[in-house]
Amino acid sequence: MAEANLDKLFHDTLKDIYFAERQILKALPKMARAAQSAETKAAFEKHRDETEGHVERLTQVFEILGKRAQGKTCEAIQGIIAEGEEIIDEYKGSSAIDAGLISAAQAVEHYEIARYGTLKTWAQQLGLKDAVALLDATLQEEGATDKALSQLAVAAANVKARAA
Ligand code: FE
Ligand code: FE
């Protein structure tokens, strides 16, 4: 077994977010289908495309480590996605659906931001310069997505939910 050090922690956490990103890739089209407003649908579709890039960047980080890209079950993201599915079941077709979907999507983004922030810091400490750049590129996109979702929530979904 590999020594329990920062290298192992970095590799294990990379497997965690790789698993998570691939689950997110499957969840986003379902969220786009359930969304009511064209803006919310478009936001989820745009981020689905970006998420393909996130998976691709992670495979590049695995390459830098000389390891094969491999996921490790992440119960946290499974729970967050399950909550999103619950919202779809309970609110589909209602005036609050977009507010609910956006809140679920922001929980996903915050999980990703936490993971990429940590991985970027560890990559810096491990001297993995190219990995730092790849992880930072995704971190920036997750942050921008979170901000866009906040604006969508305020501008449309929350107002609609209150009006119902
Ligand atoms: Fe992502
Ligand atoms: Fe994301």
Helices (H) and strands (E) in the chain, counts: 6, 0
In degrees, rounded to 5, the angle at the alpha carbon of residue 55 between the alpha carbons of residues 50 and 58 is 125
- The answer to whether residues 77 and 19 touch, using CB atoms and an 8 Å cutoff, is yes
Length of the chain counted residue by residue:
164
pTM score of the predicted model: 0.94
Could you tell me which of 164, 110, 118 has the C-alpha nearest to residue 142? 110
Residue 105 C-alpha to ligand 2 middle, in angstroms?
8
Tens digit of each residue's pLDDT (9 = 90 or more) over 96-132: 999 999 999 999 999 999 999 999 999 999 999 999 9
Dist CA 66 CA 142 (whole Å): 26
* Contacts of 152 by beta carbon, 8 Å cutoff, 6+ apart: 39, 40, 43, 98, 102
Residue 2 C-alpha to ligand 2 middle, in angstroms?
30
| pLDDT over 60 at 1, yes or no | no
Tens digit of each residue's pLDDT (9 = 90 or more) over 34-43: 999 999 999 9
Protein residues within 5 Å, CB atom, of ion ligand 2: 112, 142
For residues 56-84, give the mean pLDDT: 98
In degrees, rounded to 5, the angle at the alpha carbon of residue 25 between the alpha carbons of residues 112 and 135 is 40
- Work out the pLDDT band at 157, boundaries 50, 70, 90: low
- The answer to whether residues 17 and 116 touch, using CB atoms and an 8 Å cutoff, is yes
Query: 6-163 adopts what CATH topology?
Result: Ferritin (1.20.1260)
Ligand in nearest proximity to the CA of 52: 1
